[in-house]
Amino acid sequence: MNEPVYASPSAGLPPQTALHTGRAVFTEAYAVIPHGVMRDIVTSFLPHWNDTRAWVIARPLSGFAETFSQYIVEVLPGGGSDRPEPNPEAEGVLFVVAGQASLTIDGQDHMLTPGGYAFLPPTCDWSLRNKSSEPARFHWIRKRYESVDGIAMPTAFVSNENDEPIRWMAGTNDRWGTTRFVDPTDLRHDMHVNIVTLEPGAVIPFEETHVMEHGLYVLEGKAVYRLNRDWVEVEAGDFMWLRAFCPQACYAGPGRFRYLLYKDVNRHMKLGL
């Protein structure tokens, strides 16, 4: 398998002489944040993290309808946090795209390298440091965990995408597949963060329209992606945010196309008034 290509957020600013061009879109059903707009001046700093900045690429907007937030976090050598998560109800997934992160979960040390993945249930005691000489960059996806009476809390685990198989969809001749880190029938989990792979020229051949909300971060390649009524071109480093029920489909190519995919799963809907 080829090494994946993880794009970096851009630094600095375009020159003052540059014509304004851009692919950023924000609509009622979806947003596209292209890598070219993830620049230094749009970063955030986080409480109790040192030598660290973050691009917040998804957050709950309306206060009740959206489920998750997603950050691209960049930790400089020597940086990190011993008090990373302020909310005891939050669960998290970390996915490393560059550099090395030293993660400690409940006293156990783990080294996360590109492709490294960690699931962090609420109240687990974790800390993260960059002990290397290069910046570390990772996605941090956070959600309020919805506990259910009679179902145990999921436990923490660490993995790497290279240690997990791609499960190809039936009927696609091994052209459209998903790398899963959690068994879909494990109802302790109320969110999945998977990796979707489409081989060159492969398609999502119908407009998936479903209740799950999505964050899609393109890890590798290019595609034309259907979002609601529009077709948008995306490439490695771009992020797409999809509200529940946003129709979605895809033509991948010319190379392999892969993305990190968040979805909320396995819980009843909140009741209306």
Ligand X SMILES: NC(=O)N[C@H](N)C(=O)O
Binding positions for ligand X, rule: CB under 6 A: 196, 208, 212, 214, 248, 261, 263
Query: Residue 52 carries which DSSP code?
Result: E
Which residues make beta-bridge pairs with 195?
179, 260
Least Å from the CB of residue 262 to ligand X: 10
Our CB check for ligand X shows the closer of 105 and 195 to be 195
Among residues 209, 203, 214, the alpha carbon closest in space to that of 169 is found at 203
Task: Closer to ligand X by CB, 25 or 212: give it.
Answer: 212
Q: Least separation, in Å, of the C-beta of 108 and ligand X?
A: 30
Query: What is the CA angle 22-26-29, rounded to 5?
Result: 140
Tell the smallest beta-carbon distance from residue 101 to ligand X (Å).
26
Task: Kindly tell me the burial class for residue 152, based on how many C-beta atoms sit within 10 Å of its own C-beta (0-12, 13-18, 19 or more).
Answer: exposed
- Please choose, from the candidates 255, 270, 263, 108, the residue with its C-alpha nearest in 3D space to the C-alpha of residue 178: 263
Least separation in angstroms between residue 198's CB and ligand X is 9
How far apart CA 189 and CA 251 sit, in angstroms, is 30
Taking the least distance from each CB to ligand X, the nearer of 100 and 248 is 248
**Least distance between ligand X and beta carbon 177 (Å):** 10
CB of 189 to ligand X, least distance (A): 14
- Specify the residue, 108 or 206, whose C-beta has the smaller distance to ligand X: 206
Nearer to ligand X, 42 or 211 (CB): 211
- Show the tokens assigned to 224: 């034309």
Cβ proximity to ligand X: between 105 and 196 the closer is 196
Check: CB of residue 206 under 8 Å from CB of residue 29. no
Q: Which tokens sit at 85?
A: 């998560």
